[in-house]
Amino acid sequence: MDLPSSRSPKPNNDHKPNWLERLTAFLLREPEDRQELVELLHSAFERHLLDADALEMIEGVLQVGDLQVRDVMVPRSQMDAIDIATPPEDFIPYVIDTAHSRFPVYEGSKDNIVGILLAKDLLRYYVSQQFALRPMLRPAVFIPESKRLNVLLKEFRANRNHMAIVVDEYGGVAGLVTIEDVVEQIVGDIEDEYDFDETEDNIRPDKQGRWRVKATTLVGDLNIALGSAYQPDGIDTVGGLVVTEFGRVPKRGDAISIEGYHFRVIRADSRRVYSLLVEREAASDET
């Protein structure tokens, strides 16, 4: 009769620590201040304990506590808002064109925001062709420009709000901020269906004979792709060309014609343009 072996099983030494375990071990020495913590994080990245995305997100979390709403809000002048006196058949094309999910609704002026319209609520109009705007509005949340982003994010999560109206010290509307604006400070730009992957070309033709163009594309590269001949003085990029022609930072959906081509902004924020849709303008028929 064989006796059971008295030897204990060998420990499994195949376990490899994941990046979080390696980072924890690296940070056992407690940093004395924020700057030293950031330096430790960058050192961890250089030692391949963190990848670039993880480092960027951790730095984003650290920075959110230092930022205020005024740093990321959409300014009042660039708010896509709806006048409550406008009939649905007039503002629905505007809703479709801007493609937002929520719209501030004002009465008289943008300083008098009376509620928030959810675009999905407009389905009732298409079902019955009868739509009273005021009863459909959700309550608007008002916050000061000085509110910290980390506090705002906590409130968004607790109250399940996605948008807040920002007011200045005099009670006037200064702009608006969404939960996406806050989250982007941590994870970077949240891409939508119009965005390009970072590994793709700056200029991408589509099946309709148009081009999706990153704003950072050099004007010379655009000329090669389109056969155009733009030579703007002192401007290197397509984004700079478009901003100069507008005379301001355009919003998503804004369009302009430049020397035979139609440029439409498909992604932008309050500070810069990210991508555009470019197409040749149809030649006018001359009789």
What confidence score (pLDDT) does residue 283 get? 61
Return the minimum-mean-pLDDT range out of 81-90, 240-249, 271-280.
271-280
Q: Is 258 exposed, middle or buried (0-12, 13-18, 19+ CB in 10 A)?
A: middle
Residue 242, pLDDT > 80, answer yes
What confidence score (pLDDT) does residue 23 get? 62
What tokens appear for 223 in the block? Answer: 């000329």
> What are the beta bridge partners of residue 177?
164
What tokens appear for 149 in the block? Answer: 């982003």
Instruction: Name the residue with higher pLDDT: 211 or 98.
Output: 211
Residue 262, pLDDT > 90, answer yes
| Best CA proximity match to 121, nearest among 91, 144, 157, 147 | 91
Instruction: Name the residue with higher pLDDT: 89 or 23.
Output: 89
What's the average model confidence in pLDDT over 42-52?
76
What confidence score (pLDDT) does residue 140 get? 95
Mean pLDDT score of the chain, rounded to an integer?
A: 81
pLDDT digits (tens, 9 = 90+) for 142-189: 999 999 998 998 999 898 889 999 999 888 999 999 998 888 777 665
Residue 68, pLDDT > 60, answer yes
Would you say the C-alpha torsion 214, 220, 226, 228 has a positive or negative sign? positive
Q: What percent of the chain has pLDDT over 90?
A: 31
Confidence of residue 38 (pLDDT cuts 50, 70, 90): confident
Domains of the chain: 70-187 (3.10.580.10), 203-280 (3.30.465.10)
In angstroms, the CA 256 to CA 183 distance is: 31
Residue 91, pLDDT > 50, answer yes
Highest mean pLDDT pick, 54-63, 114-123, 202-211: 114-123
**H/E element holding 177?**
strand 173-178
What confidence score (pLDDT) does residue 197 get? 44
Where do the H-state alpha helices sit in the chain? 19-26, 34-46, 52-64, 88-98, 123-128, 133-136, 149-159, 179-187, 219-226, 238-246
Would you say the C-alpha torsion 43, 47, 49, 50 has a positive or negative sign? positive
Confidence of residue 244 (pLDDT cuts 50, 70, 90): very high
Mode of pairing for the β-strands spanning 203-205 and 173-178? unpaired
Residue 219, pLDDT > 90, answer yes
What's the average model confidence in pLDDT over 54-58?
74
Alpha-carbon separation of residue 96 from 101, 256, 275 (angstroms) = 10, 19, 19
In angstroms, the CA 86 to CA 95 distance is: 12
What tokens appear for 162 in the block? Answer: 């996605």
What confidence score (pLDDT) does residue 189 get? 54
Instruction: Name the residue with higher pLDDT: 41 or 6.
Output: 41
**Contacting residues for 139 by C-beta, under 8 A, at least 6 apart:** 115, 116
Instruction: Name the residue with higher pLDDT: 220 or 5.
Output: 220
Predicted TM-score (pTM) above 0.85: no
Return the minimum-mean-pLDDT range out of 42-46, 127-131, 180-184, 272-276.
127-131
Here the contacts of 201-209 (C-beta below 8 Å, separation 24 or greater) are 208/279, 209/279, 209/280
